[in-house]
Amino acid sequence: MRKASDGEGGGGDTGMIPQETAPVPALPKKTKQPKECFLIQPKETKEDATKTRKRRKKKITDVLAKSEPKPGTPEDLQKMMKDYYSSSRSVIELEELNLPDSCFLKANDLTHSLSSYLKEICPKWVKLRKNHNEKKSVLMLIICSSALRALELIRSMTAFRGDSKVMKLFAKHIKVQEQVKLLEKRVVHLGVGTPGRIKELIKQGGLNLNPLKFLVFDWNWRDQKLRRMMDIPEIRKEAFELLEMGVLSLCKSQSLKLGLF
């Protein structure tokens, strides 16, 4: 009887085992885990996208910074003028913008300081300066992109200018009327400034271009953004408008020479 009861008890125990192994709900817990992983992925892709964009911007400036500078040439100026006016002028009008090679001075090969370059293109400057006595005019114009750059150029040309009278021809802190009065009162040999202000002085009759012998563009210098003066749309527009205010005709008559520093 004891054995039977043991057997019944044993049989009863084995019958209870399948009921205890029923905890199958552990499976849905495992299926919830991949959902959490899917939520993390889009955040990573957005961060990666912003990182790649930032890297691309840096690469552009790196390429510009590492690229070897090439000195400007008269062909660069001629081509830039044609490209600028190509959509608004006829073929005949574009041909009128062409200047002969004799109009251009030797371009800077990037080995010169401003003083050494001016001495090379104008070796007889002292005689020219002594013979110049016309007011409301200058013998040489140096055109640059900003007032700060103009001040830098004036400081860097001390070895060339000597006793020459230099005038700042830009708009910062100086009114046009004040510059007109100064040009009327005194004889000026050198003018350094921006094309916009020089253009305005010509319009108001304060500056006569006929005695002008040399016009030099600060062509190769680059600002903090690695832009040359002609890379800035506003400066390029004003420079080309200035050229058409009598400069091109003076060049064609061989009385004025153009230089690219």
Residue 32 lies in a domain: no
Domain of residue 77 covers: 68-260
Residue 25 lies in a domain: no
How is residue 109 written in tokens? Answer: 């090969």
Residue 99 lies in a domain: yes
Q: pLDDT at position 172, please? A: 86
Residue 144 lies in a domain: yes
How is residue 198 written in tokens? Answer: 């020089």
CATH number of the domain residue 208 falls in: 3.40.50.300
Residue 9 lies in a domain: no
Number of domains in the chain: 1
Q: pLDDT at position 259, please? A: 96
Widest Cα–Cα separation across the chain: 145
Q: pLDDT at position 173, please? A: 86
Of 220, 221, 169, 159, give the one whose Cα is nearest residue 190. 169
Q: pLDDT at position 3, please? A: 45
Q: pLDDT at position 2, please? A: 46
Residue position matching structure tokens 């003028």: 81
Give the dihedral of Cα atoms 66, 72, 77, 79; nearest 10 deg: -60
Of 113, 96, 129, give the one whose Cα is nearest residue 214. 129
Please give the distance of CA 201 from its chain centroid, rounded to a whole number. 26
Residue 22 lies in a domain: no
Residue 36 lies in a domain: no
Q: pLDDT at position 69, please? A: 77
Residue 38 lies in a domain: no
- Count Cα atoms within 13 angstroms, Cβ side, for 87: 1
CA distance 96 to 32: 77
pLDDT tens for each residue of the chain, 261 residues long: 444 444 444 444 544 545 555 555 555 555 555 555 555 555 556 666 555 555 555 544 555 556 677 899 999 999 999 999 999 999 999 998 999 999 999 999 999 999 999 999 999 999 999 999 999 999 999 999 999 999 999 999 999 998 999 999 999 888 999 999 999 999 999 999 999 999 999 999 999 999 999 999 999 999 999 999 999 999 999 999 999 999 999 999 999 999 999
